Amino acid sequence: MKLKLRPEEENDYRLVEELTREAFWNVYFPGCNEHFLIHNLRKASEFVKELDFIALHNNQIVGNIVYVEAKIKGNDKEHTVLTFGPISVLPEYQNRGIGGELINHTIKLSGEMGYKAILIYGDPEYYKRFGFKESKAFNITNKDGKYPAALLVFELYPEALNGITGIFDEGSIYEIDENEFEEFEKGFVEKEKFVTKSQERFIEIANKYL
Ligand SMILES: CC(C)(COP(=O)(O)OP(=O)(O)OC[C@H]1O[C@@H](n2cnc3c(N)ncnc32)[C@H](O)[C@@H]1OP(=O)(O)O)[C@@H](O)C(=O)NCCC(=O)NCCS
C-alpha cells in the first residue's frame, strides 16, 4: 500500500479528531475520549509539534501519532523524555502496517531531535516489536514506585539513560475534564456506545500488566 507520512497541519485538526474518534470508539470502554485528548494536547506547552504526524493514503488521512514531553524525576534532577499517544489508524486500515510506520518514522525523528528516550504505557506484546523494553531494566518506576509491565522504554541512542533513574511523570495533560468533554462531544455526529470484546480484552491486559 502506498502511504505518505507528513506533519499534521492546522487544516487537518478536525479530520484527525474524527479519525481518532473512529479508531478508539468502543475499543477500551463504551464510546471514547481520545479525540478530546488530542484536541487538548495540541494546545499544551509539552506538545511536540515536529513529531505530530499523519499518514495519508490516496490523500485521505488514515492515521496519526502525537507526542508530548514528559519527565523522569530522579532524586535531585528531572530529565526530559518523550511519550506518545493517542496513536490512531482508521479501523478499515488497521493491521496493514500504518501504525508501525508512524511509530518507526517518529522514533527515528525523535533520536535526530536529540531526545534521550520514549516512555509509554502500552501493550508490551505490541510495542516490544519496535524495541521497547520493560521499565524495570532501566530502574524507572511509575508514580507508585512500581514497575508495571505496561510501562515501556525506548532508548533513542546507546546508553542514553545511563545514570538516569527515577519516576516517570506525564504530569496532568492526559487528564480529562468530563464537563468540558461532554460539551466537546456535542460537536460530533452521534454514535452508538456499546460493550465490545476488545473492552474485555483491555481489562484483562490492564489486570495483567498494570
Ligand atoms: C493500535 C493501532 C494504532 C495499530 O495500528 P495498525 O496500523 O493497526 O498496526 P500495524 O498494522 O502496524 O500492526 C499490526 C499488528 O499489531 C497488532 N496490534 C495492533 N494493535 C494492538 C494492540 N493494541 N495490542 C496488541 N497488538 C496489537 C496486530 O494484532 C498486528 O499483529 P501482527 O502483525 O502480529 O498481525 C491501531 O490498531 C488503532 O488505531 N487501534 C485503535 C486505537 C488504539 O488502540 N491505539 C493505541 C492505544 S494509544
Query: From the CB of 98, is ligand 1 less than 6 Å away?
Result: yes
Strand partners, 68: 47, 83
Residue-level length of the chain: 210
Atom of ligand 1 nearest to the CA of 85: 48
Atom of ligand 1 nearest to the CA of 88: 39
Q: What would the pLDDT profile of 62-80 be if each residue is shown by its tens digit?
A: 999 999 999 999 988 999 9
Cα–chain center distance at 112: 19
Instruction: Note the pLDDT of residue 78.
Output: 96
Instruction: Note the pLDDT of residue 209.
Output: 78
* 87, 118, 128, best to mutate for ligand 1 pocket (most atoms within 8 Å of CB): 87
C-alpha cell at 78: 528531572
Report how far ligand 1's centroid is from the alpha carbon of 84 (Å).
14
Instruction: Note the pLDDT of residue 195.
Output: 93
Instruction: Note the pLDDT of residue 75.
Output: 86
Contact 65, 103 (CB under 8 A): yes
Report how far ligand 1's centroid is from the alpha carbon of 57 (Å).
18
Query: From the CB of 94, is ligand 1 less than 6 Å away?
Result: yes
Atom of ligand 1 nearest to the CA of 94: 8
Instruction: Note the pLDDT of residue 205.
Output: 82
Strand partners, 64: 54, 88
Give the integer Cα–Cα distance in Å for 12 and 45. Answer: 20
CATH of domain 4-171+204-209: 3.40.630.30
Give the integer Cα–Cα distance in Å for 71 and 60. Answer: 35
Give the integer Cα–Cα distance in Å for 95 and 64. Answer: 14
Atom of ligand 1 nearest to the CA of 103: 12
Residue nearest to atom 15 of ligand 1 (CA): 95
> What does the buried/exposed string (b/e) look like for 86-99 if buried means 16 or more CB atoms within 10 Å of the residue's CB?
bbbbbeebeeeebb
Q: List, for the chain, all residue ranges whose pLDDT scores fall below the cut of 50.
A: none
Query: From the CB of 123, is ligand 1 less than 6 Å away?
Result: yes
End-to-end CA distance of the chain: 35
Instruction: Note the pLDDT of residue 43.
Output: 96
Q: What would the pLDDT profile of 83-99 be if each residue is shown by its tens digit?
A: 999 999 999 999 999 99
